[in-house]
């Protein structure tokens, strides 16, 4: 006797079939790209002596530039002749096939997650896929953003372009049927406006900090975000934690202070903007919690999280637009910044590529983070975020050859370890309170 499926299941059946094809195909594509790149490296001819000499000269010039910068000289004036036509860190960019494979894998994974209601093989592999995409896109964003800020001095314009880059991606997901179209009202948009404003402000502050100081130092300062979140939750939401939870934050403060005191690239502006980004993103999270859910974002967790970020991105972009248009370093300053970059020897095609890819990576790492949050409890997400910050710090030090002092290393490890201690302590006492309330 034939089984009669519910109407809803019949409507989802084509999407299920498409998802079952997309995920294996994306996995095969990603594996093929990695294998092809490794084979290409294996059969690549060794560089000539002339090319090796050029590479050694470039490294020597970068070391001289760093020394002169720390001595207080004009870094841009010294770097223009040696770095003409090149952008530091470009050799560590992910190849286009690898980016496309990672994107296809992410798209296939979210499509599978949106239609699978029963336990399946995908349930066992979706978390590693989401975490891998989160780390990959976040590392690539930090590399691209630093390269872009070194070549193109328009902070507000860069922040706006990166934020707005998520809109066409969301539109494409909705138009293709990969993602359910959300239903929001005018009242929902008004409720999301302060959340979007905090999101936009946090993005601008982060970009400004990444441009002013070393990427590694920005992320050390951003390790203070949990501490600010604990204070803001108490003031705005009335959430008071166990005294040991607040005590566990002391290593974070001590580590950031130690790292700041010995950071060679330290500037008051870079530190202040990194702290401002902490306050802005904490405000975004606290306001989002206070206002609760808005509109119909979908049935399953992955769809809801994807739509929440997409709608919030649109609202934040709209809020940021007037400021990005009028303020110095904004959209009106793009022609002057563009001409200055070309004059320094950066090709126009390279500028376009960096602007486009940095925006793409920004939205995709935010989206992957939301996907991970849809799969795990907040405590697990916090631990993964701490580990991700370690990865970014290490990669950025290698890519940009950032000098690290012994005290700076100790401070960084202390701050990151303090964040992990805070996360575990908070989870422990939250569980204890729940058990006592039963």
pLDDT per residue as tens digits for the range 90-114:
555 666 656 665 666 566 555 555 5
Confidence of residue 140 (pLDDT cuts 50, 70, 90): very high
Residue with tokens 């997901």: 173
57 within a domain of the structure (yes/no): no
Q: Which two tokens stand for residue 431?
A: 């569980």
3-state DSSP assignment of residue 85: coil
**What average pLDDT does this structure show over 17-34?**
48
Ranking 25-34, 162-171, 172-181, 262-271 by mean pLDDT, the lowest is: 25-34
Q: How far apart are CA 411 and CA 199, in angstroms?
A: 28
pLDDT score for 194:
92
424 within a domain of the structure (yes/no): yes
pLDDT score for 275:
93
6 within a domain of the structure (yes/no): no
**Partners of 183 in the β-ladder:** 296
- For the entire predicted model, the pTM comes to 0.76
User: What are the tens digits of pLDDT across the range 277-306?
Assistant: 999 988 888 887 776 677 777 777 888 888
Residue with tokens 């109407």: 7
* Most confident option among 83-97, 102-116, 235-249, 385-399: 385-399
Q: How far apart are CA 202 and CA 274, in angstroms?
A: 9
Flag whether pLDDT at 327 surpasses 80.
yes
The answer to whether the CB of 142 falls within 8 A of the CB of 215 is: yes
Confidence of residue 38 (pLDDT cuts 50, 70, 90): very low
DSSP 8-state symbol, 233: I
DSSP 8-state symbol, 46: P
Flag whether pLDDT at 119 surpasses 90.
no
Flag whether pLDDT at 226 surpasses 60.
yes
Nearest Cα neighbor of 302 from 382, 373, 384 is 373
435 within a domain of the structure (yes/no): no
92 within a domain of the structure (yes/no): yes
Flag whether pLDDT at 64 surpasses 90.
no
331 within a domain of the structure (yes/no): yes
pLDDT score for 90:
55
pLDDT score for 426:
85
43 within a domain of the structure (yes/no): no
* Domain region containing 322: 84-429
* Terminal alpha carbon distance of the chain: 48
CA distances from 257 to 213, 221, 299, 413 (A): 16, 9, 45, 12
7 within a domain of the structure (yes/no): no
* Most confident option among 73-87, 91-105, 158-172: 158-172
Q: How far apart are CA 406 and CA 399, in angstroms?
A: 19
- In the chain, how many domains are there? 1
Q: Of residues 356 and 78, which shows the higher confidence score?
A: 356
């Amino acid at each position: 006797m034939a089984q009669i499926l519910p109407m809803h299941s019949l409507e989802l059946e084509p999407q299920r079939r498409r998802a079952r094809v997309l995920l294996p195909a994306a996995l095969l594509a990603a594996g093929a790209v990695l294998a092809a790149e490794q084979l290409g490296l294996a059969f690549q001819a060794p560089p000539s002596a002339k090319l090796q000499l050029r590479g050694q000269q470039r490294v020597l010039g970068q070391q001289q530039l760093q020394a002169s910068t720390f001595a207080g000289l004009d870094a841009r004036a010294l770097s223009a002749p040696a770095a003409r036509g090149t952008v530091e860190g470009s050799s560590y960019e992910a190849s286009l096939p690898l980016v496309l494979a990672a994107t296809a894998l992410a798209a296939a994974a979210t499509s599978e997650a949106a239609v699978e209601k029963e336990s399946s093989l995908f349930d066992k592999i979706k978390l590693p896929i989401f975490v891998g995409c989160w780390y990959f896109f976040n590392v690539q964003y930090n590399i691209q953003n630093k390269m872009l800020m070194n070549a193109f001095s328009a902070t507000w314009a860069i922040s706006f372009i990166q934020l707005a880059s998520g809109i066409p991606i969301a539109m494409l997901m909705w138009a293709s049927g990969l993602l359910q179209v959300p239903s929001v009202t005018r009242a929902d948009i008004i409720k999301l406006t302060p959340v979007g404003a905090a999101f936009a402000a946090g993005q601008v502050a982060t970009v400004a900090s990444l441009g002013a100081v070393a990427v590694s130092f920005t992320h050390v300062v951003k390790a203070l975000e949990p501490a600010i979140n604990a204070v803001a939750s108490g003031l705005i939401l009335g959430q008071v934690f166990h005294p040991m939870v607040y005590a566990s934050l002391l290593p974070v403060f001590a580590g950031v202070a130690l790292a700041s005191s010995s950071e060679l690239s330290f500037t008051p502006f870079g530190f202040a903007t990194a702290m401002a980004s902490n306050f802005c993103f904490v405000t975004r999270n606290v306001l989002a919690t206070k206002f609760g859910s808005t509109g119909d974002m979908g049935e399953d967790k992955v769809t809801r999280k994807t739509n929440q970020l997409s709608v919030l991105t649109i609202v934040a972009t709209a809020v940021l637009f007037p400021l990005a248009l009028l303020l110095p370093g904004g959209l009106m300053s793009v022609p002057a910044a563009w001409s200055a970059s070309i004059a320094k020897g950066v090709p126009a095609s390279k500028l376009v590529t960096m602007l486009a890819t940095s925006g793409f990576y920004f939205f995709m790492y935010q989206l992957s983070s939301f996907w991970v949050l849809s799969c795990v409890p907040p405590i697990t997400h916090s631990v993964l975020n701490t580990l991700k910050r370690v990865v970014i710090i290490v990669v950025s030090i290698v890519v940009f050859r950032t000098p690290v002092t012994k005290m700076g290393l100790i401070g960084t490890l202390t701050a990151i370890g303090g964040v992990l201690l805070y996360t575990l302590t908070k989870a422990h006492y939250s569980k204890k309170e729940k058990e006592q309330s039963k």
